[in-house]
């Protein structure tokens, strides 16, 4: 990606040897936009990040895994600022152009000695001053992981029509997320980069819209993290300068595609997950009704465990919609597993239909559709099942 360099190292923040400190460096200050967690228990890097991002410019992003720097009081905020200052000094850039993110265990102070020794090594990996970079995007993607089982990287390309001819646009996304995932802004750490030239206002509006239709429509376990951050950087190093509505529409579609793919990767990698499910609620009287019903179904532990057991327990799905606060009429509901109808106009279609639905549930990805038949509004969520491994992973997380 033009304008960006990456590095990821093992600094000793985690107990064992996987990479745990990463850096994104922009060749020059990039246009920036960010969204953060709505959790009222907020980590120090989020507090600092909200102030830093107000300028709409960023040149470096330092991310550590293994320690959330949350519930660490005033010292945590001082430590977050200190790590930003380390990067600023090493790279000879203003401190207010450095964003920091942390992810990991809540409550422990940052091991500052690991940052003091690690940040200079990141500079070496980046390879400034005509040195050959040895760091890579994959190194960074690995350094930000916690309970994730895989790296999450997405690339998309498009073209903007201009009077001078078509101009290429590239967008790349890197994310981490496996547990503490629910839709309430971002629900993970995610960094989306583009070589396009946009204004900070346009980038922020595009990110808001993309987030609402992607990361705010996923859930693993219904928990919103204290550190959730979604950051988008535009280097302006590519050929496309986007200022008109047509160009912004193309960019918006590309950005949403990247965010949707990252969101699905997070759900697929949900802690202990074996299946990815899309629940679509259509026929809502209002958009809010469709949203509430879909959200309640996606968050239901009873639904999630039934899906793990490959049991088409339609009662759990319709009951979740009924308690969601949405306006529903049970006598008008239709329910489908893929294209297999299980309930029509509130009536169960019997054992034969249930057996067909159970066969559908053996697939790793499942589409469920609940039609409320009360209007024309639709919404959807992506979620995963619950298995025994979710309990084991979280029981051992701090061990």
Query: Judging by beta carbons within 10 Å of its beta carbon (0-12, 13-18, 19+), is residue 149 exposed, middle or buried?
Result: exposed
| Angstrom distance (rounded) from CA 266 to CA 268 | 5
Residue 341 in tokens: 């109808």
Residues belonging to the chain: 399
Is 280 an active-site residue?
no
Do residues 214 and 263 make contact, with C-beta atoms less than 8 angstroms apart? yes
In this structure, the number of other CB atoms found within 10 A of the CB of residue 16 comes to 8
Do residues 140 and 175 make contact, with C-beta atoms less than 8 angstroms apart? no
Do residues 188 and 228 make contact, with C-beta atoms less than 8 angstroms apart? yes
Query: What does the DSSP 8-state code read for residue 197?
Result: B
Q: Which of 31, 72, 187, 219 is catalytic?
A: 187
Sign, CA torsion 345/351/353/358: positive
Residue 313 in tokens: 């327990």
| Extended strands (E) in the chain | 4-9, 21-36, 57-67, 98-105, 152-162, 165-176, 189-194, 218-219, 229-234, 276-284, 334-337, 340-344, 347-348, 365-371, 377-384
Mode of pairing for the β-strands spanning 21-36 and 4-9: antiparallel
| Angstrom distance (rounded) from CA 314 to CA 52 | 48
For 301, phi and psi rounded to 5 degrees?
A: -65, -30
Question: Rounded to whole angstroms, what are the CA distances from 18 to 5, 142, 149, 344, 388?
Answer: 20, 8, 12, 51, 25
SS3 168: strand
* 3-state helix vs strand vs coil in the chain, percent to 5: 35, 30, 35
Residues designated as active site: 187
């Amino acid at each position: 990606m033009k304008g960006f360099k990456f590095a990821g190292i093992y600094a000793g923040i985690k107990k064992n040897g996987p990479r745990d400190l990463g850096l994104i460096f922009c060749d020059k200050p990039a246009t920036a936009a960010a969204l953060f967690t709505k959790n009222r228990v907020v980590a120090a890097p989020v507090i600092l990040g909200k102030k830093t991002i107000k300028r709409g410019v960023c040149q470096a992003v330092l991310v550590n895994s293994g320690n959330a720097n949350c519930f660490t009081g005033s010292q945590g905020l001082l430590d977050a600022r200190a790590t930003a200052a380390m990067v600023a000094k090493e790279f000879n850039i203003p401190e207010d152009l450095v964003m920091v993110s942390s992810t990991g265990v809540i409550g422990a102070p940052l091991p500052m000695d690991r940052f003091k020794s690690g940040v200079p090594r990141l500079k070496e990996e980046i390879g400034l001053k005509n040195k050959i970079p040895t760091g890579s995007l994959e190194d960074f993607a690995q350094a930000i992981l916690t309970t994730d089982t895989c790296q999450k990287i997405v690339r998309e390309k498009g073209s903007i029509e201009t009077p001078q001819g078509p101009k290429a646009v590239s967008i790349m996304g890197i994310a981490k997320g496996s547990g503490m995932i629910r839709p309430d802004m971002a629900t993970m750490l995610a960094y989306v980069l583009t070589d396009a030239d946009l204004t900070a206002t346009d980038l922020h509006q595009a990110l808001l819209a993309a987030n609402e239709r992607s990361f705010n429509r996923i859930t693993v376990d219904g928990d919103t993290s204290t550190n959730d951050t979604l950051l988008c950087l535009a280097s302006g190093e590519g050929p496309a300068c986007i200022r008109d509505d047509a160009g912004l529409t193309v960019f918006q579609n590309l950005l949403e595609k990247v965010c949707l793919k990252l969101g699905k990767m997070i759900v697929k990698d949900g802690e202990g997950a074996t299946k990815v499910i899309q629940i679509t609620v259509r026929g809502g009287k209002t958009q809010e009704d469709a949203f509430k019903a879909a959200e309640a179904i996606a968050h239901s532990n009873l639904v999630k465990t039934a899906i793990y057991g490959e049991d088409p327990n339609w009662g759990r799905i319709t009951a979740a919609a009924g308690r969601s606060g949405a306006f529903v009429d049970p006598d008008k509901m239709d329910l489908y597993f893929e294209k297999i109808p299980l309930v029509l106009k509130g009536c169960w279609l019997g054992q034969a239909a249930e057996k067909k639905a159970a066969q559908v549930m053996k697939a790793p990805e499942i589409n469920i559709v609940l039609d409320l038949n009360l209007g024309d509004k639709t919404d959807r969520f992506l979620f995963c099942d619950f298995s025994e491994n979710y309990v084991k992973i979280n029981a051992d997380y701090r061990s």
